[in-house]
A and B are shown apart, each in its own frame.
Chain A
Amino acid sequence: DTEVTQTPKHLVMGMTNKKSLKCEQHMGHRAMYWYKQKAKKPPELMFVYSYEKLSINESVPSRFSPECPNSSLLNLHLHALQPEDSALYLCASSPPPGEVSNQPQHFGDGTRLSIL
């Protein structure tokens, strides 16, 4: 069982819908990540939060809006997505680099998103 929990596991939405992906971890990690993974491709980093503050935004379109309400939760708000945004969205967490060195990122099971 993964220690990073993502909901929902599957999501189908139209291009005009607004939905949110949720991620929760209780490992005390203070860094949390959103990745996007297309079929047969490696995960691509989207956002990094460290101590609940946005540290990295990898030039992600504004139709993706991250939010970190507290140290255990990470959301990704979706609005006006395009068909090419269909992918597996992975959340991960880890200690921040300065806290404990060389700790792996732990991934959730992902949300499989389909845009109609």
Chain B
Amino acid sequence: GQNIDQPTEMTATEGAIVQINCTYQTSGFNGLFWYQQHAGEAPTFLSYNVLDGLEEKGRFSSFLSRSKGYSYLLLKELQMKDSASYLCAVKGAGSYQLTFGKGTKLSVIP
């Protein structure tokens, strides 16, 4: 089975940097995905990591340590539109199934 843990809520200031952590315990691992979801909308793919290290994509970066079962999503130069829920999701080995964490609701304040 999979167990994924991430903070429920975070607040950060416009223009700042925020790091959203995700820890996981899985019986198999074939990648970790980050999705952004605005209220009432579909999840939007942000990034994935399958090997250890940092993946950078514009203002968003994601890091993975497989030995520690740990990932984080880093958002730089925060904008008001970044206020959303951020979902960490783990794919099991050879599996169709994505197991989602409960999501972190990020509020960006002026």
User: Residues on A close to B: CB < 8 A?
Assistant: 2, 31, 33, 41-43, 45, 48, 50, 55-56, 88, 90, 94, 96-98, 101-102, 104-110, 112
Count of A-B contacts judged by CB separation below 8 Å = 56
4 additional A-B residue pairs with CB within 8 Å, beyond A90-B42, A101-B50: A31-B96, A42-B103, A48-B97, A98-B94
Known interface pairs A56-B97, A97-B96, A101-B30. Does A107 touch B48 (Cβ–Cβ under 8 Å)?
A: no
B96 partner, pick from A42, A50, A102, A107, beta carbons under 8 A:
A50
A55 to B94, CA, bound (A): 13
User: Judging by beta carbons under 8 Å apart, are A45 and B43 in contact?
Assistant: no
Q: Which residues of B contact A2 (CB under 8 A)?
A: 42
User: Judging by beta carbons under 8 Å apart, are B97 and A41 in contact?
Assistant: no
A61 to B69, CA, bound (A): 34
A–B Cβ pairs within 8 angstroms, 5 of them: A33-B96, A42-B100, A42-B103, A50-B96, A109-B41
A31 to B95, CA, bound (A): 11
User: Judging by beta carbons under 8 Å apart, are B40 and A102 in contact?
Assistant: no
